[in-house]
Amino acid sequence: MEAARESRVTATGSPPAGSSEAADAPHRNEALDHVERQTAVLVRHIELLYRRTDVHNTLDRAEYLLLRTLDDSGPMNINALAAVLGLDPSTAGRQVSVLQKAGFVARSPDPADRRCSVVTPTAEGLARMREVQTKRTDNHEYLLRDWTDEDVQTLGAILAKYNTSVAEKYLTGSALIEETAAGK
pLDDT tens, residue by residue, 46-93: 888 888 877 777 888 899 999 999 999 999 999 899 988 988 899 999
Rounded Cα distance between 7 and 9, Å, is 6
**Nearest residue to 84 via CA among 111, 119, 39, 125:** 119
Rounded Cα distance between 151 and 155, Å, is 6
> Does 112 have pLDDT greater than 90?
no
Residue 92 exposed, middle or buried by CB count within 10 Å (0-12, 13-18, 19+): buried
The whole-model pTM stands at 0.73
Task: State whether residue 117 is helix, strand or coil.
Answer: strand
Tens of pLDDT along 16-32?
555 556 567 889 999 99
User: Does the domain at residues 61-126 carry the CATH identifier 1.10.10.10?
Assistant: yes
